[in-house]
Amino acid sequence: MIKLLKWLSVASSLGMLLVLVGGALVTKTESGLGCGRSWPLCNGELIPSNITTETIIELSHRVVSGSVGILVLLLSILAWKFYGHIRETKFLAFLSIFFLVFQGLIGAAAVVWGQSDFVLALHFGISLISFAAVFLLMLLIFEIDKKFDARSLIIHKKLRKQFYMLFIYTLIVVYTGALVRHAEASLVCKSWPLCDNSTPLRTDFNLEQWIQVGHRMAAGILLIWVLYLFIQIAREYRQKRIMFFGWLIASILMIAQVLLGAMIIFTILNLNVALLHALVISCFFGLLSYYVLLSNRSVAYEQEMAVEKNDVHTDQKTSRLHPSRS
């Protein structure tokens, strides 16, 4: 069973990445209405008779999302049934299904009734949370045979808080990036890193330009924060391979993410660059979610150690008061 679950978890995680990139492809190619205002059918038909490029992209995204949804459902049920006793399994299984269904319903509502750009921008972030839950579930399954174990890692309180805050802030940055796409504000600023490098103090922007500028500022802060954490981790956790090398990868992903954002401007919305941009932030968010998981485990481990220490202290005190019992 463990071997089956490993294969299933890997397939589900890769499938969720395809869903995320496929959703970005739908947005970038403006194929959201490739099947008209019809859902789950396409233009009111099971197999559309009038096929366009937009129809193929939208319909393919629906088929992939549905197929991956079946894999995630099967993974969650089997993980819950056979390994529900392991910490976090049931919670992650629930999150995987809940947010996958939730993002599907938002996508369906956008097709049938339409949504504002600010609501549509939530779609990618919700999909990211679903992917992160599946990804973490995969890591839990690989821990079962002890070939991948990081439970004894102690992360100090200040660093744990940084991971928690960074998790929330990353979702905010992701939302602003999705808003840039849905508001069609990707090319409203012709320069980089400023909206207009020739007039760096300019502030008379329209709404779309402010959306773009806001996203760039938020992404810049995120990059600085990630690199600051890497310096901190390199100083304090250099001997902890999971901490040091894991966050090194996270830092490289974030640098690549910022550079890809610049390349989107320089290449005038090259589709491959834009899709890679979505893929990299998805990988970064999955890795960041793992550090949130490690932080939660660290809290639990510290509490267990405190209880054991208190029990030892109590036993020693009892022995001193009643030496005849020892």
CB 85 within 8 A of CB 93: no
**What span, in angstroms and rounded, lies between the C-alpha atoms of 241 and 69?**
34
Q: What is the mean pLDDT of residues 25-35?
A: 86
pLDDT band at 301 (very low <50, low <70, confident <90, very high): low
CB 185 within 8 A of CB 212: yes
**What span, in angstroms and rounded, lies between the C-alpha atoms of 30 and 26?**
6
Q: Which residues are annotated as a binding site?
A: 215, 277
Closest listed residue to residue 285, CA positions, set 162, 158, 166: 166
Q: What is the helix (H) or strand (E) element at residue 12, kind and residue range? A: helix 2-28
Q: Which is higher by pLDDT, 321 or 144? A: 144
pLDDT tens readout for residues 149-165: 555 678 888 999 999 99
CB-based burial label for 240 (10 Å; 0-12, 13-18, 19+): middle
**What span, in angstroms and rounded, lies between the C-alpha atoms of 237 and 307?**
25
**What span, in angstroms and rounded, lies between the C-alpha atoms of 154 and 301?**
8
**What span, in angstroms and rounded, lies between the C-alpha atoms of 34 and 304?**
55
Fill in the amino acid letter for 153. L
pLDDT band at 18 (very low <50, low <70, confident <90, very high): very high
Query: Quick one: how many helices (H) and strands (E) in the chain?
Result: 9, 0
Considering the chain, what percentage of its residues have pLDDT values greater than 70?
88
Candidate ranges 63-77, 145-159, 184-198; pick with highest mean pLDDT: 63-77
Tell me 35's DSSP state: T
Question: So what's the pLDDT on residue 214?
Answer: 94
pLDDT tens readout for residues 33-49: 888 888 888 888 888 88
CB-based burial label for 230 (10 Å; 0-12, 13-18, 19+): middle
**What span, in angstroms and rounded, lies between the C-alpha atoms of 22 and 64?**
8
Question: So what's the pLDDT on residue 313?
Answer: 56
Q: How far apart are the first and last CA of the chain?
A: 48
Which residues are marked as active site? Answer: 58
pLDDT band at 262 (very low <50, low <70, confident <90, very high): very high
pLDDT band at 186 (very low <50, low <70, confident <90, very high): confident
Q: Which residues are annotated as a binding site for heme?
A: 215, 277
Helical H segments across 183-270, by residue range = 207-236, 241-266
Choose the weakest-confidence range: 76-85, 104-113, 189-198, 311-320: 311-320
Considering the chain, what percentage of its residues have pLDDT values greater than 90?
49
Candidate ranges 61-75, 85-99, 150-164; pick with highest mean pLDDT: 61-75
pLDDT over 50 (residue 326)? no
**What span, in angstroms and rounded, lies between the C-alpha atoms of 188 and 210?**
9
Question: So what's the pLDDT on residue 16?
Answer: 94
Structural tokens at position 179? 């808003």
pLDDT over 90 (residue 84)? no
Closest listed residue to residue 174, CA positions, set 92, 261, 107, 98: 261
